[in-house]
Structure 1
Amino acid sequence: MNLIEKYYAAFSSFGEKEAFCAGDEKYSYREFLFLINGSRRLLESQNGFEPQMPVGVLCNEFAETYAAVFAIWFSGGVFMPLNPEAPTAVNEELIGKFGIKYVFQPDGSGNERPFQSAQILDNRKISSKHNLPVHRWSENRTLYVLNTSGSTGMPKNVAISLKNLSAYVEGFLKKYPELDSSDKFLQTYELTADASFTGYLIPFLLGAEVYTIPGNTFKPFAAAKILSEKPITWVKATPTLLACLKPFFSSFHLPGLKHFHFGGEALPADLVESWRPHIPNAEISNGYGPTETTVTATIYKCLPGEKIKEKNNIVSIGLPFKHVQTYISKMPGERNDSSGELWIGGQQMMNGYLESETQPFKFIEKGGQSVKYYPTGDLVAQDHEGYLYFLGRLDDQVKINAYRIDLIEIENAVRKIVPDSGNVAAVAVEKSPGLKQLVVFIEKYSGCGKEIQEEMALSFQRYKIPEKIIGVLDFPVNRSGKTDKKKLVSMFLNKELW
């Protein structure tokens, strides 16, 4: 039985057990399967639908959105997440590039988005008690495609196969054998981020219950409300989300929480230490993994009372999953140092980028064979026990709230909008531990930053829009004559630019 068949069996066998809670809406496993059936019948009734076709989903926070994902997989399609808050032109480009004919829009509004080449399937409140046979999958077939920034500033389309996702799920459950059907998971991530998979793919396989955060809410406060009111045992969140709640830590006491799992960004150790007294029985874990290596490739786990492993105030990213191999490529000139670029291989590694003439892989000769690895671009160190520590990016990519952002791409976009300005520098500023914001500095610019933000909003997704745009008379430079971004950040934090 492959992974997709296991999900179908889970929805069929757990019956009246609670499966999903979204705001005031609750669904048992049986009722959730009915939602999946309804979405499947809607999709498969389209004359042009065939297995292996890409199917879009506008990822609003409804139960039917999650049901659409499984409906696509049970029907043999490829899940293509689309951000409902992205400019129409951005989604239209993805739809056209991959030939997407159908897009689930589970909002019940009846307002069709102006996608020229895709038909809207509104599956809100559509269900069916009639079960359909599950499409037979081969392990190398693509399950989903995610769009992520590349190191060149050009977006990359990452295709993850059934084999990749199956290896991730198996590796995750091996790290957490104590999880079972009594657990209650809080899913905090946007569905366009692969980090969200942990919050619903794992619990649905176990017969556990999934709670999600309603749309159109301030996510940190909504998460806090659910944690305070519901018997949540497992949470996965970004450090940014927790950092937003830091002023209110004293109001939390969550002895029933068993696991607090971080992912998506570097995790400040002092943020964790200030949070631990309020979750006295919870294991802290910190996951790491580029989209190209399927959600999470390494994990660090710290039991209550244990000392946190950290380096430079950043919590360890731990040890590899079962089907993951890691290799540290030494930097030129470094011989004795344990640090270098992290390469990841194994069954969780993607087959390659779609629509790309070049692939990023590196090869190492082992035992007479050439072993393929994905070079992450992340600088890591390793201690004598094998634990890995994230030290930073080798290029100009950063992660903010679990989204990867290429700073070169942002700088180029700003330069196009204000071509007569001086230098442009995009940086991720950490105003407090775990709380980052995207800031753009423009040399010799005295215009209005809001106008640039509005212009960028026409062609960029929301998470790529700088929170602040600041004009600077003269950029500081380092000894090499390059823009000193660290000095810019220091000037910004010390309010020397006002």
Structure 2
Amino acid sequence: MNLIQKYFEAFNRFGNNEAFSLNDEIYTYREFLLLVQGSRKALESQPGYEPQTPVGVLCNERVETYAAVFAIWFSGGIFVPLDADAPKMLNEELVKKHQIKYLFYASENADSFSFDNAKIICNREVSVKETAPLFQWQESHTVYVLNTSGSTGVPKSVPITLKNLSAFIDGFVEKFPELSASDKFLQTYELTADASFTGYLVPFLLGATVYSVPHSNFKPFAVAKILSAKPITWVKATPTLLACLRPFFSSLHLPGLKHFHFGGEALPADLINEWRSHVPNAEISNGYGPTETTITSTIFKCLPGRVLKEKNNVVSIGKPFKNVRIHIQKIDGEDGVGELYIGGAQMMEGYWFAEEQPFKILETDGEQQRFYPTGDKVTIDADGDLYFMGRLNDQVKINGYRVDLVEIENGVRKVVPVGGNVAAIAAEKSPGMKQLVVFVENFKGDEKEIMEKMALFFPKFKIPEKIVGIPVFPVNRSGKTDKKKLAADFYLNSKQ
């Protein structure tokens, strides 16, 4: 039985279980399956539709959006998530690039949307009892395609096959064998981010309940409200989202929370140590994985009461999943630190629409194997746990010196009096001249004092010229710190 068949079987087997909750509206697995089947019928009735063609979904937080994903998979299609709130021109480009002919959109104003070469399928409140044989999936078939900017900023199309996704699910479930149908998952990520898959693919396989965060002008408030009111046992979130929850920490005591899982960014240890007293029974886990290697490739787990493993105040990213192979490629001039290469069953076959592919061929275990070079620097300890040490391409030139922005952020975290979000950028000082600027959440202290402390362990060219305190960090659609917004705001303020 392949993974897609397992989902169909689970939806039937757990028919009376609560599958989905949004704004106190509950759908059982049986009701959810009817929505899936209604969406599938709407797709398959379109003229010219064939399996293994890309089908777009304009994603919003409605149960029909999730139903569209499984309707596409049950029909053998390729799921391509698009941001419903993104500029139409951007979505037009993606529709054209992927030759998308059909787009699901569950919204009251779906009729007002139009694309030159794609038809909108509104699956709002679609529900049928009809069943049809599932598409006969092969491991090499593509299940979804995500667009990622990559290290160059040029969007790349990352296709993930059934083999890749099955390997991820297999590895994830092995790491969390205690998860069951009784668990309540809080899905906090935007559905265009691969991290969102963990929040619903894992619970739907188990017959557990997914709680979705309704659209809100301030997501942390909506998340805090759900955590306070609902019996959530599992959360996955970005470190930035947790940092934004800090004003609510004093009102949040969640002894029923069993797992708090992080991913997408470097995880500050001081932030977690502050948070752990509010989730006294929760295991803390920190996942790592590029889109190209299917959602999460390595994970660090820390049981309640145990000491977090960290370096430079950044929590370990742990050990690889069972179907993941790693290689640390030595970097000249950096003792004990290398670039992380990832291979194995979770690694994509290659970018779509790309003449050049990123893979490196290495001989391991007596055979030639492909690896994806992540561009991330890591070190490894005697226990085999990995630590993120910055980006190879997160380096900028300041007055002729190469400076790693992650190293600067870690340096500030060492000396800033209150833990929180930290972001370093290279801002234009004058034409052709850059300056180091560091933003610190809720910082109201003396920036000169911070600079003096950093001067004790950093050379002069690595000392920021400005340290800016801001009350709330801007967040992008993936829930990560929006450095582009920080840089733009700093530029505008500096011109005033």
Measured against the shorter chain, the TM-score band is: 0.7 to 0.9
Which residue number corresponds to residue 167 of structure 1?
Answer: 167
Determine whether 1:352 maps to 2:338.
no
Once the two structures are superposed, residues 334-372 of structure 1 have per-residue CA deviations (whole angstroms, 9 ceiling, x without a partner) of 4xx332000001000000111000011111112442111
Which residue number corresponds to residue 372 of structure 1?
Answer: 370
Check 1:439–1:394 CA distance in 2 against 1; reply closer, same or farther (3 A cut).
closer
Q: Distance in 1 between matches of 2:136 and 2:465?
A: 53
Q: What does 1:76-225 correspond to in 2, within 5 Å? A: 76-225=76-225
Shift of 1:435: 2.8
Q: Distance in 2 between matches of 1:358 and 1:352?
A: 9
Partner of 1:373: helix, strand, or coil? Answer: strand
Q: Distance in 2 between matches of 1:395 and 1:444?
A: 23
Shift of 1:153: 2.4
- Answer with 209-218 or 63-72: which moved more: 209-218
Which residue number corresponds to residue 362 of structure 1?
Answer: 360
Shift of 1:426: 13
Shift of 1:129: 1.3
Q: Distance in 2 between matches of 1:491 and 1:232?
A: 38
Conserved 8 A contact 1:239-1:434:
no
Conserved 8 A contact 1:427-1:485:
no
Q: Which of 412, 417, 421 does residue 435 from structure 1 map onto?
A: 421
AA in 2 matched with 1:393: R
AA in 1 matched with 2:357: Q
Q: Distance in 1 between matches of 2:177 and 2:425?
A: 42
- Answer with 109-118 or 289-298: which moved more: 109-118
Unmatched 5+ stretches in structure 1: 398-406, 409-424, 446-483
Partner of 2:65: helix, strand, or coil? Answer: helix
Conserved 8 A contact 2:38-2:126:
yes
Q: Distance in 2 between matches of 1:76 and 1:346?
A: 24
Shift of 1:489: 6.4
Unmatched 5+ stretches in structure 2: 398-402, 413-417, 432-459, 471-489
Partner of 1:353: helix, strand, or coil? Answer: coil
Check 1:83–1:440 CA distance in 2 against 1; reply closer, same or farther (3 A cut).
farther
Which residue number corresponds to residue 338 of structure 2?
Answer: 340
Q: Distance in 1 between matches of 2:230 and 2:429?
A: 49
Conserved 8 A contact 2:391-2:404:
no
Q: Distance in 2 between matches of 1:427 and 1:229?
A: 39
Determine whether 1:55 maps to 2:55.
yes
Partner of 1:136: helix, strand, or coil? Answer: coil
Report the identity percentage.
Answer: 61
Partner of 2:112: helix, strand, or coil? Answer: coil
CA RMSD, aligned part only? 2.4
Determine whether 1:231 maps to 2:231.
yes
Which residue number corresponds to residue 412 of structure 1?
Answer: none
Q: Distance in 2 between matches of 1:169 and 1:105?
A: 27
Q: Distance in 2 between matches of 1:96 and 1:72?
A: 19
Determine whether 1:394 maps to 2:392.
yes
Determine whether 1:243 maps to 2:243.
yes
Determine whether 1:20 maps to 2:6.
no
AA in 2 matched with 1:115: F
Check 1:143–1:485 CA distance in 2 against 1; reply closer, same or farther (3 A cut).
farther
Shift of 1:154: 1.3
Partner of 2:249: helix, strand, or coil? Answer: helix
Q: Distance in 2 between matches of 1:436 and 1:121?
A: 42
Check 1:434–1:31 CA distance in 2 against 1; reply closer, same or farther (3 A cut).
farther
AA in 1 matched with 2:18: E
Partner of 1:92: helix, strand, or coil? Answer: helix
AA in 2 matched with 1:26: I
AA in 2 matched with 1:127: S
Q: Distance in 2 between matches of 1:77 and 1:172?
A: 24
AA in 2 matched with 1:395: N
Partner of 2:275: helix, strand, or coil? Answer: helix
Conserved 8 A contact 1:59-1:192:
yes
TM-score (norm 1): 0.83
Shift of 1:433: 4.5
AA in 2 matched with 1:143: V
Which residue number corresponds to residue 302 of structure 2?
Answer: 302
Size of the aligned set, in residue pairs, is 433
Shift of 1:216: 3.3
Q: Distance in 1 between matches of 2:216 and 2:275?
A: 26
Partner of 1:64: helix, strand, or coil? Answer: helix
AA in 2 matched with 1:441: A
Q: Distance in 1 between matches of 2:188 and 2:132?
A: 31
Q: What does 1:10-49 correspond to in 2, within 5 Å? A: 10-49=10-49
Conserved 8 A contact 1:426-1:440:
no
Q: Distance in 1 between matches of 2:272 and 2:111?
A: 44
Check 1:88–1:184 CA distance in 2 against 1; reply closer, same or farther (3 A cut).
same
Shift of 1:86: 1.2
Which residue number corresponds to residue 381 of structure 2?
Answer: 383
Q: Distance in 2 between matches of 1:254 and 1:489?
A: 41
AA in 2 matched with 1:370: Q
Q: Distance in 2 between matches of 1:325 and 1:343?
A: 8
Shift of 1:235: 0.3
Shift of 1:251: 1.0
AA in 1 matched with 2:427: F
AA in 2 matched with 1:193: A
Q: Distance in 2 between matches of 1:203 and 1:485?
A: 49
Check 1:237–1:327 CA distance in 2 against 1; reply closer, same or farther (3 A cut).
same
Conserved 8 A contact 1:221-1:245:
yes
Conserved 8 A contact 2:324-2:345:
yes
Conserved 8 A contact 1:37-1:128:
yes
Which residue number corresponds to residue 469 of structure 1?
Answer: none
